[in-house]
Amino acid sequence: MIYLDHGATSFPKAPGVSAAVAQFIDEASGNPGRGGHRLTIKASRAIEDARTAVAELLDADPERTLLGPSATFWLNNILCGRLGPGDRVVTSALEHNSVMRPLRWLEAQRGITISVVEGVSPAGVPTAAEVQEIVGQAPTALVVLSHASNVSGAVIPVEEVALRIAPTPVVVDGAQTAGTLPFAFSRSGLAAFVCSGHKGLQGPSGTGIALLAEDFEIQPLIRGGTGSNSESEDMPVMLPDLLEAGTPNGPGIAGLGAACTWLTDRTVEAIQDHERALINRCITGMRTIPGLRLTGWVEDMPQTGVLSFTIDREDVGELATWLDRERGIALRAGLHCAPAAHRRLGTFPTGTLRVGVGPQTTEDEVDALVTALDERCG
């Protein structure tokens, strides 16, 4: 099988991940923070070791590095924990539903206002100046941006945005960039950075991360047991306990820690170079295929290891099924949970076929995709 769906989730996982998951289950399955026996202590140590590994990779404060079930969970926590009636949010036209659905719910239920920056670029990527102009039109509680589109792979200059519009807080959905683009949260100027553990970070599903700046506070979305301050029926005020109620996904977090250690050793810079070379190779091969159109790709614009395309007279779903069944190549077809982005890029409602490469993708695998498309459509 040729796996080219890393925009959805990574496969195979980083070396050491499955072993770390199994070791936690077999040797450390106590409930972290809930008691003082040896299994509880082992579980707590595994969680904190993983937190340290994540913080080191992303250059964040471990005490403000939060671990949970998904990027979607943390985005909901931040948006629902910060926004109230009358608040205004500025966002881009390239957002995933993990941003747009909670924002639309807050619009309907709490009366927030949403302003969307369309971006004049053919890729729909807003410049920092465009965001600054929209923010300057009215008081703004929050700016929420994808670090990169999960449809096209185009990168939004979020750090430049944060610099231009300070002190307005900027929250970034980094699900498509963590582990694939070099990033240092402590120097980014962002209020919060949220990402999945199972995509570019190469960890297990059911893991997600939120990094919070020192002066950026939110109210918890979930309240319950933490193992600390058990004498009180109120949530503890210190982090990470305030925002990490309930028993954590210990095996998943242990696997995430192993993945981040592997990424630190290999370096994100090396992975970025590898994925960029593969995407460029893919684009070069695709240019010879009649009727193939790249979606949201602009030459010399920063890009992740994700690329979308359509082919004239080909249904994207049927083509994806053919590639899987006849050539053993796994891509994703459709709207990729990002209808706003497809509307902006002109591919709604049919969607696109999406290529997503990863650290272990090879040139031969990319070439096999191009050959298969050429044989069917050329």
Set out the domains of the chain in order of their start, with CATH numbers. 2-12+267-377 (3.90.1150.10)
| Confidence label for 38 from pLDDT (cuts 50, 70 and 90) | confident
pTM for this model (two decimals): 0.96
Summarize pLDDT for 153-186 with one digit per residue, the tens: 999 999 999 999 999 999 999 999 999 999 999 9
Residue among 354, 359, 315, 357 nearest 331 (CA): 354
The structure tokens listed for 41 are: 């202590």
Kindly give the pairing relationship between strand 329-330 and strand 306-311: unpaired
Q: Report how far residue 194's alpha carbon sits from residue 174's, in angstroms, rounded to the nearest whole number.
A: 6
Q: Is 327 exposed, middle or buried (0-12, 13-18, 19+ CB in 10 A)?
A: middle
The neighbouring-strand residues paired with 311 are 292
Q: Return the SS3 of 190.
A: coil
Between the CA of residue 321 and those of 214, 326, 331, 358, what are the distances in Å? 47, 8, 9, 21
Model confidence at 72: pLDDT above 80: yes
Q: Which residue has the tokens 């949010």?
A: 89
Model confidence at 128: pLDDT above 90: yes
Q: Which residue has the tokens 């490469």?
A: 357
pLDDT: is 237 or 198 the higher one? 198
Bond into 85 cis (ω within 30): no
Model confidence at 232: pLDDT above 90: no
The structure tokens listed for 15 are: 């070396």
Q: Report how far residue 289's alpha carbon sits from residue 38's, in angstroms, rounded to the nearest whole number.
A: 61
The neighbouring-strand residues paired with 210 are 66, 194
Summarize pLDDT for 291-336 with one digit per residue, the tens: 999 999 999 899 999 999 999 999 999 999 999 999 999 999 999 9
Residue among 61, 53, 23, 32 nearest 246 (CA): 32
Average pLDDT, the chain: 96
Q: Report how far residue 260's alpha carbon sits from residue 19's, in angstroms, rounded to the nearest whole number.
A: 14
- At residue 235, the pLDDT reads 83
User: What's the rounded mean pLDDT across residues 214-242?
Assistant: 88
- At residue 281, the pLDDT reads 97
- Percent of the chain whose predicted confidence (pLDDT) is above 90: 89
- At residue 230, the pLDDT reads 83
